[in-house]
């Protein structure tokens, strides 16, 4: 005999109670899945954003602050490298290129970053549209910038914080008129929304030496020792792995610090280890609550089924057939809740990722990995085992006692 037609009829008859049970299981599963998935998306996204930054040199201080400033373009309070260290670094022949990073201006909330064309090309792996800047009044925009190639604008003094164009921004505009000449390919980092200009323009707009002798309109290296100011940070592209370690050792002094962003991220992740443990603990607690809910739901649903199951027993249905109906009803609800929870968990993680990406500029791509499927499988297995309890009770219970109590 096939118990599934009867199970389907029970599901239809008790659909509201069944839906409530399914949504309860799905809510717990989705929270556990979203917590684990989002933590992994944050790690993967931040690592991808820093992947093309081989070596960073800055003034001694917090590597995390410099990392947030240079890679994630978050305004900070980093000190400037001394000019003599800056010019020596920018002209170092052991590197394929050294690109200074300068800040101080913005346009419609987007930070304007002063650097060199080599860094733009390196980060973008060739441009999506147009060309790199060749003159001081030219700019390349990130892939997500609303500005178009050929558009002109005037930079605004100040850098917005936390996406607020008015905060920390001086409403007056510089006199320079800048033309957009190129657009980068997507990088999955805050640089997708930034505006890149020659670092000489940033120095010039802030009444600093522009890296070249007076009257020169040159752009990019080599930089003149007598006319180069300090910079918050510089990105170094070594020629070889050996050269990378040589440069890191050479610029790890009392006057400067050099570090690999990947190492700084690893240390940052270790600091965030407590947060990951907390998220894992929350996931475990959520699973425990789901299992308790399944246990209570099984008992409540069993109360709904008792009269119908007793009737079937009285009509001569075999005990194993009755047990299959009792187990199949609850097991189907648990399966539906787990599958819905997996989908909802991914959707929740995706929504949070989109919100964080809009706020930070870091591309976050949540995925479901083995840990999430293991959580779902463990809840499903436990639910199916608990579903055996009503089936066992129905099979072992005396029909006379059941009829007397019904």
Q: Which of 80, 117, 97 is nearest to 231 (CA)?
A: 80
Q: Which of 162, 174, 167, 160 is nearest to 109 (CA)?
A: 160
Percent of the chain with pLDDT over 70: 81
Place of tokens 């522009």: 210
Place of tokens 């020792």: 225
pLDDT at residue 165, as a whole number: 47
Quick one: which H or E segment has residue 170?
Answer: strand 169-173
pLDDT at residue 29, as a whole number: 86
Is residue 116 scored above 70 in pLDDT? yes
CA of 248: how far to CAs of 57, 156, 188, 236, 281, in Å?
8, 35, 26, 10, 39
pLDDT at residue 180, as a whole number: 95
Alpha helices (H) along 187-240: 199-205
Q: With beta carbons less than 8 A apart as the criterion, state whether 127 and 184 touch.
A: yes
Separation CA 75–CA 72 (nearest Å): 9
Q: Is the pTM of this model over 0.85?
A: no
Average pLDDT over residues 265-279: 67
The token pair at 145 is 């910038």
Average pLDDT over residues 62-81: 86
Q: With beta carbons less than 8 A apart as the criterion, state whether 172 and 137 touch.
A: no
The token pair at 314 is 């009285």
pLDDT band at 237; cut points 50, 70, 90? very high
Is residue 162 scored above 60 in pLDDT? no
The token pair at 98 is 């050294």
Alpha helices (H) along 103-149: 117-124
Average pLDDT over residues 164-193: 75
Q: Render pLDDT for 168-180 as a digit per residue (tens, 0 to 9).
A: 445 555 567 899 9
Q: How far is CA 69 from the centre of its chain?
A: 17
Domain parsing of the chain, residue ranges: 4-47+272-405, 55-259
Average pLDDT over residues 87-116: 91
Q: Render pLDDT for 293-320 as a digit per residue (tens, 0 to 9).
A: 777 766 666 666 666 666 666 666 677 7
Q: At what angle do helices 319-360 and 15-49 cross, to 10 degrees?
A: 40
pLDDT at residue 298, as a whole number: 67
DSSP-assigned states of every residue in 312-325:
HHHTT--HHHHHHH
pLDDT band at 200; cut points 50, 70, 90? very high
Interior/surface letters 203-226, b for 16+ CB within 10 angstroms, e for the rest: bbbbebbbbbeeeeeebbeebbee
pLDDT at residue 87, as a whole number: 92
Quick one: which H or E segment has residue 152?
Answer: strand 152-153
Q: With beta carbons less than 8 A apart as the criterion, state whether 225 and 87 touch.
A: yes
First to last CA, the chain: 25
Average pLDDT over residues 363-385: 86
Give the 3-state secondary structure of residue 61: coil
Beta-carbon contacts of residue 344 (< 8 Å; ≥ 6 apart): 26, 27, 29, 30
Q: What's the mean per-residue pLDDT of the chain?
A: 83
pLDDT at residue 310, as a whole number: 65
């Amino acid at each position: 005999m096939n118990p599934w037609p009867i199970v389907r009829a029970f599901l239809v008859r008790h659909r509201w109670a069944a839906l409530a049970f399914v949504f309860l299981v799905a809510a717990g599963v989705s929270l556990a899945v979203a917590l684990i998935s989002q933590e992994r998306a944050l790690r993967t996204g931040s690592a991808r954003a820093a992947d093309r930054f081989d070596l960073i040199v800055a003034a001694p201080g917090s590597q995390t602050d410099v990392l947030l400033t240079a890679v994630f373009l978050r305004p900070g309070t980093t000190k400037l490298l001394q000019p003599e260290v800056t010019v020596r670094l920018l002209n170092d022949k052991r590197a394929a290129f050294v690109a200074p990073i300068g800040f101080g201006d913005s346009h419609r909330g987007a930070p304007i970053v002063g650097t060199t064309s080599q860094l733009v090309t390196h980060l973008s792996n060739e441009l999506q549209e147009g060309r790199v800047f060749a003159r001081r009044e030219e700019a390349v925009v990130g892939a997500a910038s609303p500005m178009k190639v050929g558009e002109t604008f005037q930079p605004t003094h100040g850098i917005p914080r936390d996406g607020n164009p008015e905060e920390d921004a001086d409403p007056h505009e510089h006199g320079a008129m800048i033309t957009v000449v190129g657009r980068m390919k997507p990088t999955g980092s805050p640089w997708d929304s930034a505006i890149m200009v020659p670092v000489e323009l940033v120095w010039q707009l802030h009444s600093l030496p522009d890296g070249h002798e007076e009257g020169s309109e040159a752009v990019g290296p080599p930089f003149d020792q007598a006319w180069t100011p300090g910079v918050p940070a510089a990105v170094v592209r070594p020629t070889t792995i050996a050269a990378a370690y040589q440069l890191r050792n050479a610029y790890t002094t009392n006057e400067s610090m050099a570090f690999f962003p990947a190492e700084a991220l690893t240390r940052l992740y270790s600091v965030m280890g407590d947060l990951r443990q907390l998220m894992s603990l929350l996931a475990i607690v959520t699973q425990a609550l789901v299992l308790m809910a399944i246990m209570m739901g099984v008992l409540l649903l069993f109360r709904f089924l008792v009269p119908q199951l007793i009737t079937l027993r009285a009509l001569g249905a075999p005990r194993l057939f009755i047990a299959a109906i009792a187990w199949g009803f609850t097991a189907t609800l648990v399966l539906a809740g787990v599958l819905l929870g997996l989908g909802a968990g991914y959707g929740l993680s995706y929504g949070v990722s989109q919100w964080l990406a809009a706020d930070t500029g870091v591309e976050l791509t949540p995925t479901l990995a083995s840990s999430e499927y293991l959580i779902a499988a463990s809840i499903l297995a436990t639910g199916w085992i608990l579903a055996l309890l009503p089936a066992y009770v129905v099979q072992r219970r005396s029909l006379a006692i059941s009829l007397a109590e019904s």
